[in-house]
């Protein structure tokens, strides 16, 4: 299983561009499906959140090795899709994600460098 991921997240469609957003979602997931078939990524999982009034309405978690995800996220095809997303969706962002062993390693870093203060629950 992949130890790294990227999260492509957004809030909601720009008013009047909902149809374009839906088409782009289908285009993006088709693109990611091809990347998976070609072995460039391990897999991907689109998620739509229930209305929540918050800053995230949905996201796609893409799993793979760090080198493969770096290559994917800097490719012209990926950047073209993200650019289109910024025109039809609010608050588009791409985040690095730690999974599996990379998550355990990152948690170890946080524990090592975090202040030693502990919360006391009364």
pLDDT, mean of residues 13-17: 95
Q: Answer whether residue 119 shows pLDDT above 60.
A: no
Q: Answer whether residue 9 shows pLDDT above 70.
A: yes
Q: Answer whether residue 27 shows pLDDT above 80.
A: yes
* pLDDT tens, position by position, 32-87: 999 999 999 999 999 999 988 888 999 999 999 999 999 999 999 999 999 999 99
Fold (CATH) for 4-113: Alpha-Beta Plaits (3.30.70)
> Residue 122 has what pLDDT?
58
* pLDDT tens, position by position, 83-111: 999 999 999 999 999 999 999 999 888 88
- Provide the whole-model pTM: 0.88
Distance CA 110, CA 91 (A): 28
- Segments making up each domain of the chain, as ranges: 4-113
7 touches 97 (CB < 8 A): yes
Distance CA 2, CA 35 (A): 15
């Amino acid at each position: 299983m992949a130890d790294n991921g990227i999260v492509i997240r957004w809030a909601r469609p720009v008013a009047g561009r909902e149809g374009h957003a839906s088409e782009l979602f289908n285009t993006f997931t088709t693109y990611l499906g091809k990347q998976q078939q070609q072995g460039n990524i391990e897999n991907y999982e689109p998620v739509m959140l229930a209305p929540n009034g918050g800053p995230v309405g949905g996201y796609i978690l893409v799993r793979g090795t760090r080198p493969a995800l770096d290559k994917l996220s800097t490719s012209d095809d990926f950047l073209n899709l993200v650019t289109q997303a910024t025109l039809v969706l609010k608050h588009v962002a791409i985040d690095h994600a730690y999974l599996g062993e990379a998550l355990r390693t990152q948690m170890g870093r946080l524990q090592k460098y975090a202040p030693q203060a502990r919360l006391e629950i009364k």
